[in-house]
């Protein structure tokens, strides 16, 4: 039997520090990405959920089970055209990160991004979800399996 570990490095947020999010704020977040909202609400309808709570929306991520990290990843990718990595660590804390990349791996629309512009993107979407200050910093996330 073998065991492997991996690291995800990037600039971003530990989602687990955000806390509880009211459903009204979650729906406001989804309004910024109409296609993602449509997909999630179609999925909720198939599950028989007509008036979802935040937990119902977060359950949309049935594959990786990263909840809010995956939802934010999808919303920001649709709204901003930027790919962020949703991941978790050994302790089950979830993260959303803008990963480091080699120059030839960087998408054309991301070539002029700066630390400040990425920070503003995070602040834009987290301000929809919470009034609390969210720490945006460099992260090294380790996990294994």
Model pTM score: 0.91
Question: What averages of pLDDT result for each successive group of 10 residues across the chain (145 residues)?
Answer: 84 92 97 98 95 95 88 97 94 93 86 94 96 93 84
Task: Spell out the domain ranges in the chain.
Answer: 5-144
Question: Contact at 8 Å (CB) between 29 and 125?
Answer: yes
Distance CA 9, CA 36 (A): 26
Indicate the SS3 state at residue 49: coil
144 with 7: CB under 8 angstroms? no
Quote the pLDDT of residue 26: 97
Parallel, antiparallel or unpaired: strands 137-144 and 5-14: antiparallel
């Amino acid at each position: 039997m073998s065991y492997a570990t991996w690291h995800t490095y990037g600039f971003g947020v530990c989602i687990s520090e955000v806390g509880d999010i009211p459903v009204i704020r979650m729906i406001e977040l989804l309004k910024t990405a109409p296609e993602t909202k449509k997909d999630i609400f179609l999925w909720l309808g198939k599950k028989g959920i007509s008036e979802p709570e935040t937990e119902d929306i977060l359950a949309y991520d049935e594959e990786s089970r990263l909840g809010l990290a995956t939802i934010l990843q999808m919303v920001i990718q649709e709204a901003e055209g930027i790919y962020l990595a949703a991941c978790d660590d050994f302790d089950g804390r979830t993260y959303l990160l803008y990963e480091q990349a080699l120059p030839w791996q960087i998408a054309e629309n991301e070539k002029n991004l700066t630390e400040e512009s990425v920070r503003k993107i995070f602040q834009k979407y987290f301000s929809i979800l919470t009034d609390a200050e969210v720490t945006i910093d460099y992260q090294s996330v380790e996990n294994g399996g």
